[in-house]
Chains A and B, each alone.
Chain A
Amino acid sequence: MAMAALRREGRRFLLSPVSYNTSGAARSAIPSDEFGSIGARSISTQVVRNRMKSVKNIQKITKAMKMVAASKLRAVQVRTENSRGFWQPFTALLGDTPSVDVKKNVIVSITSDKGLCGGINSQSVRVSKALYKLTSGPEKETKYVILGEKGKVQMVRDSKNSIEMNITEVQKNPLNYTQVSVLADDILKNVEYDALRIVYNKFHSVVSFIPTISTILSPEAVEKESEAGGKLGELDNYEIEGGETKAEVLQNLTEFQFSCVLFNAVLENGCSELGARMSAMDSSSRNAGEMLDRLTLTYNRTRQASITTELTEIISGASALTG
């Protein structure tokens, strides 16, 4: 990340001359032949001043990004909380059984499209990979469906064969339920599954985002589990109204459940992304501020050192002439 690299640079700048390969803006400001050890004449104040200007610009940018993320977060947070009540009846009726053992698992990982949002995407990808290991075995098949650019980039590197579908640019237009239900339909059409596991970052507060897994069973799996008893066993207590069979109603129900849970998951992940970006940009601005302080000190020292050297030269030259 840019800020981490600049921080490293700053420390090395103060300690010893080194060559480094980091972001371009800082590099161009410091040509290597000007470097000597601290206190030597060869560091010009111009160089340090350029450096300070670029760090200040970066600080302004990260501060602006933080404020943008904060304002977006307020709007999305309200919608997320409203959508949370929507999937609870499903869990009350069908139960959420992450430990269910089925043959075909599909892991739906939700990640962000844009970067600079802290570690949430790597966290999601790590959880997805762990889930993959947990659910694979003899006769079992696990596939990925990835939403979001960042997840795609990370997964394509080593799990290319298991990726069933890739969906990007979900967040481009403001999210609404219709769009997500179309997406859910798409996914359901293209993958065979016994259990769908959605991996996303749940938004608990502005500083805490916990990776969560929601499990949705296919109608056949629900039938199997209801025979085994437990929460799903109570499903049979309900009569089915309307001219449909129980199987049709179950299928309808699970599709509806998937689109609701997906809607909530995408909103929560969006909130987490904005919150993570806020805190990442906040720490970036603070680091930039610290660097600026250190650079100011160096600048002043350099300036005073060069003034002192000039004075010394003039005085010794003058005394050589007269004395």
Chain B
Amino acid sequence: MTLNLCVLTPNRIIWDSEVKEIILSTNSGQIGVLPNHAPIATAVDIGLLRIRLNNDQWLTVALMGGFARIGNNEITILGNDAEISTDIDPQEAQQALEIAEANLSRAKGKRQAIEANLALRRARTRVEAVNVISY
């Protein structure tokens, strides 16, 4: 039995096919989902989504927050934005990370600090997605 995974963002469908297992990060930690999981509705944090394909290879997707619904071996993940790690340019992600860090140190006021923090987390997620070791 395999899981049917669907990852959607407002602009396009990122992923829509069968997988063996996924690991997604919620705001209380990472959860792994195998076939026949109990039905869950959860918020997804800004972090990595790891997908184990049918040929036992792992694929990484940088997910910028959203919602996940798991039920009946069907997983639907709605994200604000998502990028598959192979689509991310390592140089550009590293630069974005540095810019975000610079912005954070320059941020004044609570609101700017929060926004800079979010931007930093997003940039860091993208860099991690590129650098992750596949096993």
The interface residues of chain A lying within 8 Å CB-to-CB of B9 are: 86, 177
Restricting to A260-278, which residues have a CB under 8 Å from any CB of B?
Answer: 260, 263
Residue A239 CB within 8 A of the other chain: yes
Q: How large is the interface on B (under 10, 10 to 19, 20 to 34, 35 or more residues)?
A: 20 to 34
Interface residues of chain A: helix, strand, loop or mixed (majority): helix
Residue of A nearest to B29 (CB): A242
Decide: A242 near B26, CB < 8 A? Known: A82-B12, A252-B43, A256-B78.
Answer: yes
The interface residues of chain A lying within 8 Å CB-to-CB of B81 are: 177
The interface residues of chain B lying within 8 Å CB-to-CB of A176 are: 11
Task: Check if A240 sits within 8 Å of B41, measured CB to CB.
Answer: yes
The interface residues of chain A lying within 8 Å CB-to-CB of B78 are: 86, 89-90, 256, 260
Residue of A nearest to B78 (CB): A89
The interface residues of chain A lying within 8 Å CB-to-CB of B67 are: 252-253, 256
Complex: how many Å from CA A82 to CA B16?
Answer: 13
Residue A237 CB within 8 A of the other chain: yes
Task: Check if B42 sits within 8 Å of A249, measured CB to CB.
Answer: yes
Decide: A89 near B76, CB < 8 A? Known: A238-B40, A238-B71.
Answer: yes
Residue A7 CB within 8 A of the other chain: no
Decide: A181 near B80, CB < 8 A? Known: A238-B40, A239-B38, A240-B42.
Answer: yes
Task: Check if B43 sits within 8 Å of A86, measured CB to CB.
Answer: no
Complex: how many Å from CA A239 to CA B8?
Answer: 22
Residue of A nearest to B26 (CB): A242
Interface centre among A93, A241, A242 (most CB of B within 10 A): A241
Complex: how many Å from CA A163 to CA B31?
Answer: 45
Task: Check if B10 sits within 8 Å of A260, measured CB to CB.
Answer: yes
Interface centre among B10, B12, B13, B39 (most CB of A within 10 A): B10
Task: Check if B40 sits within 8 Å of A240, measured CB to CB.
Answer: yes
The interface residues of chain A lying within 8 Å CB-to-CB of B41 are: 93, 235, 238-241, 249, 253
Residue B28 CB within 8 A of the other chain: yes
Residue of B nearest to A83 (CB): B10
Complex: how many Å from CA A158 to CA B6?
Answer: 46
Complex: how many Å from CA A82 to CA B12?
Answer: 5
Task: Check if B26 sits within 8 Å of A177, measured CB to CB.
Answer: no
Task: Check if A93 sits within 8 Å of B10, measured CB to CB.
Answer: no
Complex: how many Å from CA A244 to CA B9?
Answer: 23
The interface residues of chain A lying within 8 Å CB-to-CB of B66 are: 256
Residue B27 CB within 8 A of the other chain: yes
**CB pairs A–B below 8 angstroms (11 shown):** A89-B6, A89-B76, A93-B41, A181-B80, A237-B39, A240-B41, A242-B26, A242-B28, A249-B42, A252-B67, A260-B10
**Chain A positions near chain B (C-beta within 8 angstroms):** 79, 82-83, 85-86, 89-90, 93, 176-177, 181, 235, 237-244, 249, 252-253, 256, 260, 263
Known: A85-B8, A241-B26, A241-B40. 15 other contacts (CB 8 A): A82-B11, A82-B12, A83-B11, A86-B10, A89-B69, A90-B78, A93-B41, A177-B81, A235-B41, A239-B39, A242-B26, A242-B42, A242-B43, A256-B78, A260-B78
